[in-house]
Amino acid sequence: MTLEQSLPLPLRPEIPEDAELASADERAWRDLLARLSRQSVLKHFDAYEDVDWDNPDFSVDAGDPRFELIELDPLGGTDWYRSLPQPRRAQIGLHRFATFMKVGVQFENILKRGLLTFAESLPNDAPEFRYVYHEIAEETQHSMMFQEFVKRTNLRVHGMPPTLLWFARRIPSLARSFPELFFVFVLGGEEPIDQMQRRALREQQWRHPLAQRISQIHVIEEARHMSFARAYLLRHAPRLGWLGRNLLALRAPLILGNMVNLMLMPSPHFAKRYQIPKSVVRQAYRDNPVYQGLRREAIAKTRHLCRELGLIRPPYSWIWRAYGVESE
Ligand SMILES: [Fe+2]
Ligand SMILES: [Fe+2]
């Protein structure tokens, strides 16, 4: 039994539509999908052809000072980190970046399975099918690129904490039963990664050319993925019934709050591995207003979209505040 079948009220009630408006909306939707699909053909990357893995300058060495934490990571600004010997600082920076890549591989695995489930539910003439398959192909290249990087570090890199991974593995089935919630999850993972990579590129924070190349490729293709997810939500979320809209309003901040922590903060396992004192973690993240601003910025566009869709409202507004992801 799917989630939708088990609910007491339908997620999507039948609402009669104005035929003219509906056809204009349909045309705009088809145009967007055609445009995104065309861009995927014109500008796409291959994990092995477009990254110069064998360039000596791209070699991955745990003692390389170019891997020291970038300014965007508040841990790098703590006295604790600065007082460490240089090779240790470089290893922590490399391990943090590799963990980011590993979480990316796990997230994209769930995302691809969800998109395949979504595509399976489409009728033969659906314009979404082709675009979704372009996106799956692009995410496949990203994951190969991320995993190749992780492999080259020779570090024991863990990604998501096991409990979170357990929950995340339940997500792909949502792409069929409740695609609106699935696409909130998609944006919850894609936007923080994209925002951080974009900002590091803009401010020239990447010192290692491999980290820079991976980020460049990723942000170009992610722009399309997020456009699709946002447009899907704008088109479909308003058509949800009372129950669907309430479920979405309740779960969106829970998903976004958890995803932003996962993407931006070191896991307890990581803190233990490098014996980072709890007080340092508090100082760098939880009690740091700069980091709190970074978290809000990391999901700013998705939060704006949720507001536009009327999903940030009582009685659920407190959840946004509780996760510290509300706007200031
Ligand atoms: Fe990706
Ligand atoms: Fe993506």
If you average pLDDT over every residue of the chain, what do you get?
93
Ligand nearest, relative to CA of residue 224? 2
**Cβ burial, residue 141 (10 Å; 0-12/13-18/19+):** buried
Q: How far is the CA of 224 from the centre of ligand 2 (A)?
A: 8
pLDDT band at 23 (very low <50, low <70, confident <90, very high): confident
pLDDT band at 17; cut points 50, 70, 90: low
Cα 222 to ligand 2 centroid, rounded to whole Å: 5
Residue 321 has, within 13 A of its CA and on its CB side, a CA count of 6
- 146 band by pLDDT with thresholds 50, 70 and 90: very high
What span, in angstroms and rounded, lies between the C-alpha atoms of 299 and 290?
Answer: 15
Measure 298 CA to ligand 2 centroid, in angstroms. 15
Ligand nearest to the CA of 103: 1
215 CA → ligand 1 middle, Å: 10
pLDDT digits (tens, 9 = 90+) for 150-206: 999 999 999 998 888 898 889 999 999 999 999 999 999 999 999 999 999 999 999
Q: What's the predicted TM-score (pTM) here?
A: 0.91
On whether the CB atoms of residues 65 and 57 are closer than 8 A, the answer is: no
In this predicted model, what pLDDT tens digit does every residue of 281-309 receive, in sequence order? 999 999 999 999 999 999 999 999 999 99
pLDDT digits (tens, 9 = 90+) for 106-132: 999 999 999 999 999 999 999 999 999
Alpha-carbon gap, residue 284 to 141, rounded angstroms:
33
- The protein residues having their C-beta less than 5 angstroms from ligand 2 (an ion) are 190, 222, 225
From the CA of 191, the nearest ligand is: 2
Taking the C-alpha atoms of residue 316 and residue 249, their distance in angstroms, rounded to an integer, is: 7
Q: Quickly count: other Cβ atoms within 10 Å of residue 247's Cβ.
A: 18
Candidate from 3-17, 18-32, 112-126, 170-184 with smallest mean pLDDT: 3-17
pLDDT of residue 188: 95
Beta carbons within 8 Å of 192's beta carbon, 6+ residues apart = 259, 260, 263, 264, 298, 299
Tell how far the Cα of 139 is from the centroid of ligand 2, in angstroms.
6
Q: CA 275 from chain center: how many Å?
A: 28
